[in-house]
Structures are given as structure tokens and as C-alpha cells.
Structure 1
Amino acid sequence: MTSASLALAERSAPRYTSYPTAPHFSADVGPDQAACWLAELSPQANLSLYLHVPFCPAICTYCGCHTKALRQDAPLTSYKETLLREIELVAASTPARHVRAIHWGGGTPSMLGPSRFREVAHVLGEQFDIARDVEHAIELDPRLVDAALADALVVSGVNRVSLGVQDFNPHVQKAAGREQPYEVVERCVAILRAAGLEAINFDLMYGLPEQSVDDVIRTAKLAAGLAPSRLAVFGYAHVPWFAVHQKLIDQAALAGANERLAQAEAVRATLEAEGFEAIGLDHFARPQDTMAQAAREGRLRRNFQGYTTDEADALIGLGVSSIGRLPQGYIGNIGDTGNWRRSVEAERLPISRGLAFSAEDRARGAVIERLMCDFSVDFGAIAAAHDFREDAFDDAVPRLSTLLDEGLVALDGRRLTIAPRGRPFARLAAAAFDAYLEAKAARHSVAV
């Protein structure tokens, strides 16, 4: 790697699971605006629902999610009751009913327990028209999965689960604050398959404290041996200014840019050798998987859950801190449980922030999404399709100069293509089209 490429790898950039990104949301969009936008949805619109449960039995040191430790049962019942009321409030605010995708995240959403989970899923089915072929997914902590939970998930219509694996090496688990032996994950997978859940995703990580190239290769091989449908491989984001518990991690134990790149490449090579197809920046799937098919056909999408096959017209977020994407813009829920509950009890949508799309936002967002999904985009053609001049986004070209000089991207007219060895730098290429990045300073994780 050249010194210029190394410097690029050390730069920070948004993950671009949205555009504009969340730091640019403001209180200019609140409950009244959100209610108007929901009311304007077509009765024929297809919906995706995201439900956030912000609780975990303990906080993993590496975690950057919006969650808190909880060891009592009563707050879970209270949270469930408010979530049910929010579902009813949102359903009453829009004529749209057709749900094509449901995703539960956190936190650890399974902390609701089998009975509360079934109750929430039942109310979703009462308030919305759930498609028979809905993808109903949930994020799970393998340490908390038992047969009763697995059966409740199946009864509730869940048909895809995502397991937080991260790493299988005991010394890395200890350094990252997530001790979870291989046998625990193996047992979890067996329980889920016995209940009939075959679509199982794994989340792995590189760049964790004390982690080496050999460690990530071992983890990738063990993970592949459990035959998941898909894997997501994320670079650890050290953001202690946002996730204060990350201050417990010894920064000297973290890999530098060269090592992170080597780890990412080692995971990719290992999983491809095991028969998985690389998708986008950080996902892998079997060639016959629907996500692999979507990637090959240029239909891959990107939202707050990362890469997805979800093509819904609107994403509605439910629960504390959840974010929705409507045709008119983004809406974000209140971030603390008390104020979220008080808003719902007052029959008021618990929206605290958001952003209304401009025509330029839509066009630049389309450029960034295709670049992140396909590693190639004709930004002139997209500009023209959105009624702008073909040269409207030429301001990005000077910001691509180092990537171009290093051969990490290539430009043919206004067709920008990321080279295979430049794919770890995709976020930096996308950032060249971000009109907000320099307008308002925001701290992000390193790009690689």
C-alpha cells in the first residue's frame, strides 16, 4: 500500500446507510410534519417496519448501538405496552397497510421474551396487512436463545434471524467485552434449525482489540462451517465520543489501517473460498440467495439495516430512537424512553428530528446508493434523470483526485467505477458526492 492509500484508509467517512446522514437531521421535522407525511402515503404503498428494543442484559464494550443494560422485568412490560400504543397510533396516521418487510433490532429485541414478543407481533398483524411472503427478521444474541424463544419466533412469523457472532477467539472476545464460546453459537444454530428457522445470518467483525489476521481467518472458517445463509462483516468503529463504554477498550490494542485492510481482505478471501459471494462493501451470501441475486441484477438497496433486498416505498420506525424513511424525508423517534413514552401516551407521534428531502438530496442519494451497492455509477445520467444538468455533480471530481491517482477508482466521462482493490474505500468515493459533509462538522468512524 502506498503512503497515499494508507492516509486514505485512516480518513473517516459516514457509513451511508442513509443520505443525508443522521447528524444532519434537525428538529425542523417533528410530529406534525411526520403525521402529514404518513397521511400522504398511498393506500397501495408497500411498507417496511423496523422495531427497536433498546435493552441488553449487559453492554458489550465494543458496542456502538443505542441500548442500555437492563436486569429487571417490569421495564420490558412497560416498553411493550408503549410500543403497542405506538403501533396503533402510527397505523391510525396512514392509509398505507401493506407490509413487505419487518425487522427487529436493538439492543437485544428478544429480551421482550416469548409472550411479549408474540403479543407485539399479533398487534402488528391486527393493524397492518402483512404479506404472505414478508421477510420478518430479528437480531439475536446467541447466548439468550432457547427452544421457547425459537418457537415463539416461528409462531410470530419470523423467518430470518441474524446472530451477533463477532469473533470466535477467546482472547479477542475478552478484550471486546463479549465472551461467547463457539459451542454457544453452535447450540443456538441447532435450536433455531430444529424450530424450522433456516435463514440464519451471522454478523462478524474485524479491527477488534487484540485481533489478528489469523484470528479473523479462524473465525470466518468456523462461521462458514455452521452454514449460515448470509454474513455481514463489519469493521469495528471506535467512537468513544459517542459510545462512552468504548473508553474501556485499550486503543493501543486496536489494529492500524494496514492491519485492518489485511483483516478485511483475509475474511473476504476465506469466505469466497468457502463458496460465498461478496456483496457490496461488507456482506456475503450463497450464490442462490436472494441478496446475491439482487446484487447481480442491480437491485440491491441500502438502508439503516445495511444492505437489503427490501424495495418497500416507505420504512416506518417504531420504538425509541428508531428512524423511518418516507418518500418525503426521514423521521427519527425520540431517543430516551421517558419522553418517548410520554409522547405516545399523549397520542402524539414521538418524532424529535428528521429531514425533508430536496430534489438534490434525492439525486445525490441515488448516486451514493448505487455507488455503495454496485461500485459503479453514471452520475451524469442520474443527475439528468432527476431533472438536473448532466454536469450538476461534477463538483465531486476534484474530491476524487487521490482515489483516481492511486488507481482505486476510474472515471470514464461521468461513469465512476471503483476498482476491486478500491472497494474498501467505497465510503470515501461516496463522500465525494455528499453536499453536507463539509457544511456541518460531524465525527465518523474510519473509512476502512
Structure 2
Amino acid sequence: MTPEPMTPDLIDRLGGERVPRYTSYPTAPHFTSDVGPDSVGAWLGSLRDGEEFSAYIHVPFCAELCLYCGCHTKVVRRYGPVEAYVAALEREIDLVSDRLAGRPTLRHLHWGGGTPTMLRGSDMRRLVERLRGRFAFAPDIEIAVEIDPRTLTPAHVETLAAIGVTRASLGVQSLDPEVQRTIRRIQSVAETARVVEWLRFSGIDAVNVDLMYGLPHQTVENVVATVDHVVGLAPDRVAVFGYGHVPWMKPHQRALPEAAMPGTRERLAQFEAAALQLGRAGYVRVGLDHFARPDDPLALAMAAGRLRRNFQGYTTDATGTLIGFGASAISSLPQGYAQNLADIAAYEDAVRQGRLATARGLVMTPEDRLRREVIERLMCDFAADLDAICDRHGVAAAAVFERELAMLDDLACTGVVHRVGNRIEVPDAMRTLVRSASAVFDARLSRGPGRHSASI
């Protein structure tokens, strides 16, 4: 039976609903100052010798500010502030390591930003050596880095190869000239292709490309044209993110012309056109908004039911601990979440004084862990067996999720979910609304204005 497509009414009603992206549960708006440096220090002390973990290094600097950006970053014109920040990162690595009971093994390392390659090659090498001095590195460690192709040089690529980078993610967003002028990100097809060539020549074969839909002046036609250019680069993965317009959180977004932004139905049409084109090119849709070659580890993890989701999006990372280094970086540990001070000067001052830079966080409850697993399976598999999940957590689905099951029945009437007993599925035609289905299980969700970006 062919699944029923979304009706215009459903697109308008749920597509504009403001719900989290669920890269974590509970989500960051619920973090409080009740979790501070002492709490996190105690949590770190439980990380065992040889236990695998992941790390994220946040570099909050860019050469210029793109108007769509929702990241914690700032523009710098000289290297002095960056150099001081590198020293703070070294100090934080030491502070974290000093609180560990043993020498855990680093399995995944992700450099994010901002623009990580704002760092000099010598400073990137220093930080990796600091990590190697404090932690064991897995023999097959994955090291990923986010790249702005407009500022990358052959010297940067040489550094990335030298520090063992295995995967590079290139920010592209759109290759349409009018869209680029509007968002203040001028980036040609040729310079993007040149960077891909440099990376592969250096031995960094795994290349991701990040695209966006829903930007001012984007249309189905120019989104498809961008996808066609990108497919010509033969990346391993492509992410197609919806632009999140949150000017109350990111004031620079007010410079974007709202009248030129596509509405919910047009946004959905743009995404579906991109997904169709990528499917025709042989990419497998992974989760909500990622696409990968069939033999890519991300696609294989999805096929095996091992796909995970964390602050970097969809991932193969199955470690139970992620340690974030840098201003605003978030750590996820078995006990809960912790976020560093977002202000760079305050972050640097904290670590200079020998304190962990934790500003806020959240202690996970047993119910949080249960709901997190349900939401993660929905976001990754578009299905969740509530009985099986609840059995793993020692509770009965009917007792815990009575309200949610009633809400799911309401969603089932619109076709967003199918429910057979306590097993729920999101049909292929409704996958774009999986965030709305996941929100049913979010016991902490605040639906007030200004909290989250639109569902589509």
C-alpha cells in the first residue's frame, strides 16, 4: 500500500511546530547551574582505565560571520586571541585528565567551530600532542574536522594529515550566487572542488558536505542545482540541514530578509527535492537529514540498528562518554550533561585559575535515560518498541507512557505514526516530521515561543 503523503494542513500545523533537534535528551535549555565544576570533577573520576570515550574541541573563531550561523563563534582579525585560547585548551585538557582515575582511550575526536583551521598548524599539533600525552589513542581512532573551504590552504591540509585527520566536513550550505550574497558566504564551486582534491591527495579520503535549505532566496531549483554540483564532488556523506531562524538568540540573523525566506511548504519541497536527487545519485538516507554512500560506516550502522545521535548529529560513536573542550562545549557522561562557560574570556579565566569551566548542566534521572533511548531510536530508526525499551529499564510501558500513547493515537489519525500495540513507527512519507513524533516523549518540553527552530 502506498503511504499517504503529507497534506498541506498537516505541513502547516506540524511543520512549523517549534521542537528540539534532539541531538540530546534532555535538551540544553533545561541545563541549570546546579551542575558545576565539583559535580563534573566527580563524574570524571569514574572514567576507568582503558575505557573508551570521545572528545570534542570547540574553536569559537571565524574570519567572517555568516548571517545564517547559529554557532558560538566570533570574528577575529589577529591571532593573539586565538593563541591565548589554545593555551586555555591545553590547560583544560590537563585539568580534565588530572581528575580521571585512570588513562581512558580516545576513540573519536571531533574538531568543531567556528572554524577549527583558524588555528595555526603548530597549535593544532600542540593540542593533539597534549591529548596523546594525557590519553591513550585507539589504533583506529576517527579524527574529524569541520572546514570552511574559503579559508583552507595546502598548509592547513598538510597539518590535518599530520595530526591523523580521517574525515573532513566541508561547509557549503548553498552554491547559488544570490543566496550566497544574502547570507554573506561567497564560495565558488571551483574552490570547493579544489579543497576536496587537496584533502584526497593528502590521504584524507572521507569527505562530508553540509548543505542547507530554507535560506533566503532558496528555491527548489537552486537547491537541486547545488546538490548536483555537490554530487559531482563525490562526497561520502551529505547533510541537508534546515536553516533555523532564531534571531532572538542570534541577533545577526536579523540582517537576513525575512520576506525572502521560504515558507513551511516550500522548505519541505526543497528538502524533498534534495533528498530525491541524492537518492538518484546512489546515496542512502540516514536518519532525518543525512545521506551516505551505501558502504559508508554511517549507512552500515543504520542498516544494523546501531546508528546513534549526539551533539554532532548522526554518528557511529557508541561510547558512553563525550568530553567537550573549549568555550560553550558540552560534555555527555553517564551521570549527566555539562556545558562550559560560553564567554571566551570567562572560560579562559576559569581554567587559568585551575577550575573546570563548567557553567551549567543536568543530572540524568532513570526516567530521563528511558525517554532518551526512546527518542534516540525514533530519531535514528523511525521506530521504537516501547515494551523492549522499557524492559531494559525495568519498567512497564503502559504504566510510564499512558499519556504518550494517547497522544500517539492522535498523531496516528493524521498518519504521522503507525502504532501496533506498543510498537510505533514513523512511515517513510512522514520521516520529516519525526521530531514532532519524538517530542511526544519529551517530558520536559516547553513549547513557548523562542525555544527551538521549526520542525521542517
What is the TM-score when the length of structure 2 is the normalising length? Answer: 0.96
Counterparts of 2:182 and 2:64, CA distance in 1: 15
Match of 1:403 in 2: 411
Match of 1:23 in 2: 29
Q: Establish whether residue 228 from structure 1 lines up as the match of residue 235 from structure 2.
A: yes
Match of 2:176 in 1: 169
Any conservation in 2 of the 1:46–1:96 contact (CA below 8 Å)?
no
Q: Which of 262, 266, 282 does residue 269 from structure 2 map onto?
A: 262
Match of 1:151 in 2: 158
Counterparts of 1:418 and 1:303, CA distance in 2: 21
* CA deviation map 1:15-73 (0-9, x unaligned): 00000000000000000000000001222321100000000011100101010111111
Match of 1:65 in 2: 71
Q: Cα distance, 1:383 vs. partner?
A: 1.8
1:100-111 aligned within 5 A: 100-111=107-118
Q: Establish whether residue 325 from structure 1 lines up as the match of residue 332 from structure 2.
A: yes
Is the alpha carbon distance of 1:134 and 1:225 closer, same or farther for their aligned partners in structure 2, counting shifts above 3 Å? same
Residue identity over aligned pairs, in percent, reads 46
Q: Which of 363, 370, 379 does residue 372 from structure 1 map onto?
A: 379
Query: What amino acid is the match of 1:113?
Result: R
Query: What amino acid is the match of 1:64?
Result: G
| SS of alignment partner, residue 144 of structure 1 | coil
Any conservation in 1 of the 2:248–2:450 contact (CA below 8 Å)?
no
Query: What amino acid is the match of 2:190?
Result: E
Please provide the CA RMSD for this pair: 1.2
* CA deviation map 1:135-169 (0-9, x unaligned): 10000000111111101011111111000011111
Match of 2:4 in 1: none
Query: What amino acid is the match of 1:443?
Result: R
Q: Judge which range, 21-30 or 338-347, deviates more.
A: 338-347
Q: Establish whether residue 97 from structure 1 lines up as the match of residue 108 from structure 2.
A: no
Match of 1:352 in 2: 359
Q: Which of 435, 439, 443 does residue 431 from structure 1 map onto?
A: 439
1:22-421 aligned within 5 A: 22-94=28-100, 95-391=102-398, 392-421=400-429
Q: Judge which range, 25-34 or 376-385, deviates more.
A: 376-385
* CA deviation map 1:283-339 (0-9, x unaligned): 011001111000000000000000000111200000000000000000111111111
| SS of alignment partner, residue 143 of structure 1 | coil
Moved over 3 A (4+): 438-442
Q: Cα distance, 1:396 vs. partner?
A: 1.3
Q: Judge which range, 186-195 or 161-170, deviates more.
A: 186-195
Any conservation in 2 of the 1:163–1:201 contact (CA below 8 Å)?
yes
Counterparts of 2:447 and 2:65, CA distance in 1: 34
| SS of alignment partner, residue 231 of structure 1 | strand
Any conservation in 2 of the 1:408–1:422 contact (CA below 8 Å)?
yes
Q: Cα distance, 1:217 vs. partner?
A: 0.6
Counterparts of 1:342 and 1:32, CA distance in 2: 17
Any conservation in 1 of the 2:145–2:165 contact (CA below 8 Å)?
yes
| SS of alignment partner, residue 168 of structure 1 | coil
Counterparts of 2:312 and 2:319, CA distance in 1: 14
Counterparts of 1:327 and 1:333, CA distance in 2: 17
**Gap regions ≥5 residues in structure 2:** 1-6
| SS of alignment partner, residue 332 of structure 2 | strand
Query: What amino acid is the match of 2:19?
Result: A
| SS of alignment partner, residue 180 of structure 1 | coil
Any conservation in 1 of the 2:149–2:191 contact (CA below 8 Å)?
yes
Query: What amino acid is the match of 1:35?
Result: G
Any conservation in 2 of the 1:47–1:101 contact (CA below 8 Å)?
yes
Any conservation in 1 of the 2:145–2:167 contact (CA below 8 Å)?
yes
Counterparts of 2:287 and 2:27, CA distance in 1: 19
Query: What amino acid is the match of 2:256?
Result: I
Counterparts of 1:325 and 1:415, CA distance in 2: 28
Q: Cα distance, 1:181 vs. partner?
A: 1.0
Any conservation in 2 of the 1:209–1:254 contact (CA below 8 Å)?
yes
Counterparts of 2:422 and 2:406, CA distance in 1: 13
Any conservation in 2 of the 1:97–1:128 contact (CA below 8 Å)?
yes
Q: Cα distance, 1:398 vs. partner?
A: 3.1
Match of 2:17 in 1: 11
Any conservation in 2 of the 1:47–1:96 contact (CA below 8 Å)?
no
Counterparts of 2:177 and 2:264, CA distance in 1: 23
Aligned length: 448
Match of 1:443 in 2: 451
Q: Cα distance, 1:256 vs. partner?
A: 0.6
| SS of alignment partner, residue 306 of structure 2 | coil
Is the alpha carbon distance of 1:400 and 1:96 closer, same or farther for their aligned partners in structure 2, counting shifts above 3 Å? farther
Counterparts of 1:174 and 1:393, CA distance in 2: 48
Query: What amino acid is the match of 2:159?
Result: A
**Gap regions ≥5 residues in structure 1:** none
| SS of alignment partner, residue 221 of structure 1 | helix
Query: What amino acid is the match of 1:63?
Result: C
Q: Judge which range, 3-12 or 159-168, deviates more.
A: 3-12
Any conservation in 1 of the 2:19–2:447 contact (CA below 8 Å)?
no
Counterparts of 1:199 and 1:51, CA distance in 2: 20
Query: What amino acid is the match of 2:353?
Result: A
Query: What amino acid is the match of 1:14?
Result: P
Any conservation in 2 of the 1:37–1:326 contact (CA below 8 Å)?
yes
